[in-house]
Amino acid sequence: MDAPIADRITDLSPDTMLRIAEALERLAPPPPAQPDLSAADAFVWHPAPPHLAPVPQVSRVAIVLIKGVERQKQIVLENTLRFARGLPANNAMLWGARGMGKSSLVKAAHAEANAQVPGSLALVEIHREDIRTLPDLLTVLRDRPRQCLIFCDDLSFEREDADYKALKSVLDGGIEGRPSNVLFYATSNRRHLMPRDMIENERSTAISPSEATEEKVSLSDRFGLWIGFHNCDQDTYFAMVEGYAGAFALPIDAQALRAAAAEWSVTRGARSGRVAWQFIQDLAGRLGVKVGAAAG
């Protein structure tokens, strides 16, 4: 009869036991490294292997250059400043028209918060396809000695996409609760993050259709701030263009600037902050003037 496993283990030499222990250690996944949040003001989350990659220079525009969304700008900035100062603040969803400065506003508010409260706030970008690893990111950031603003740009969910459940759990806090040093901002072109046919499909197949629909819609409700961005009119578009032209001291008179900006918007078939910025890029190039980084 074979000897018990415990007896056979005690018969192994110390060198053999050391080699076994080293082999098991190599097979075990390494613990995630504690991030150095003082290395930069912004990071990108990479889940495999889990780490935060520092971003030396964030592509953004100054908050004073973001025009046509004054109320939205005030709400986002005030909420971000409260969080940077260690005060209560809300998760925020910025939704609505394309090109109206949603992501630019998040990055600009982050920069302004660090200008007013130096070194207070780290911006951590998580890509849409990595949203299911959001709980892992929270584990990495929990109890770190810096306030962390997690940002997901262009967030939405498609049919058969269950990642929204991870986000819902994080927004609810789960059994551990959302870390006190973490806030979550997202932008989306959709008001409710999910397409209508996905909600309708849940209603038609569920035992309790109203509860299934409520689960989908309630994801947006879990954001304390739900801020809408809408298409701009011509006067607002001109204000954006004039703000950029003034900031970069473009040598062109107001009448010629407006005429060229109007023609540009017609060729693009739209008026927005993004279209205004693209026009300024083109105009500055033709005038031989260098400008800063592109708007996000």
**Could you write out the DSSP letters of every residue in 172-190?**
H-TTT---TTEEEEEEESS
Task: Give the domain CATH number at 165.
Answer: 3.40.50.300
- Claim to verify: residue 243 and residue 216 sit in the same structural domain: no
- Claim to verify: residue 241 and residue 196 sit in the same structural domain: no
- Claim to verify: residue 194 and residue 242 sit in the same structural domain: no
- Claim to verify: residue 135 and residue 73 sit in the same structural domain: yes
Q: What pLDDT, on the 0 to 100 scale, is given for residue 1?
A: 47
Q: What pLDDT, on the 0 to 100 scale, is given for residue 86?
A: 94
Range scoring the smallest mean pLDDT among 69-78, 180-189, 285-294: 285-294
- Claim to verify: residue 51 and residue 148 sit in the same structural domain: yes
Q: What pLDDT, on the 0 to 100 scale, is given for residue 77?
A: 97
Q: Which two tokens stand for residue 91?
A: 């998760």
pLDDT at 111 over 70: yes
- Claim to verify: residue 104 and residue 204 sit in the same structural domain: yes
- Claim to verify: residue 283 and residue 174 sit in the same structural domain: no
Q: Which two tokens stand for residue 247?
A: 């900031």
Domain that includes residue 248, residue range: 234-287
pLDDT band at 2 (very low <50, low <70, confident <90, very high): low
pLDDT at 63 over 90: yes
pLDDT at 43 over 50: yes
pLDDT band at 85 (very low <50, low <70, confident <90, very high): very high
| SS3 (DSSP) at 37 | coil
The whole-number average pLDDT for the span 169-181 is: 73
Q: Please state the three-class secondary structure of 231-256 as a single string.
A: CCCHHHHHHHHHHHHHHCCCCCCHHH
pLDDT at 236 over 70: yes
pLDDT band at 242 (very low <50, low <70, confident <90, very high): very high
pLDDT at 295 over 50: no
- Backbone φ and ψ for 60, nearest 5 degrees, come out as -160, 170
- Claim to verify: residue 204 and residue 263 sit in the same structural domain: no
- Claim to verify: residue 199 and residue 245 sit in the same structural domain: no
DSSP 143: T
- Claim to verify: residue 129 and residue 216 sit in the same structural domain: yes
In a 13 Å sphere around the CA of 117, the CA atoms on its Cβ side amount to 18
- Claim to verify: residue 198 and residue 53 sit in the same structural domain: yes
**Mean pLDDT, the chain, whole residue set:** 83
Q: Which of 214, 229, 244 is the last residue of a domain?
A: 229
pLDDT at 32 over 90: no
Q: Which of 199, 229, 259 is the last residue of a domain?
A: 229
Q: What pLDDT, on the 0 to 100 scale, is given for residue 195?
A: 60
The whole-number average pLDDT for the span 152-178 is: 72
How far apart (Å, rounded) are the C-alpha atoms in residues 151 and 185? 5
pLDDT at 296 over 60: no
pLDDT at 294 over 50: no
pLDDT at 78 over 90: yes
pLDDT band at 155 (very low <50, low <70, confident <90, very high): confident
The reply to whether omega before 49 is within 30° of 0 (cis) is: yes
- Claim to verify: residue 241 and residue 225 sit in the same structural domain: no
pLDDT at 14 over 60: yes
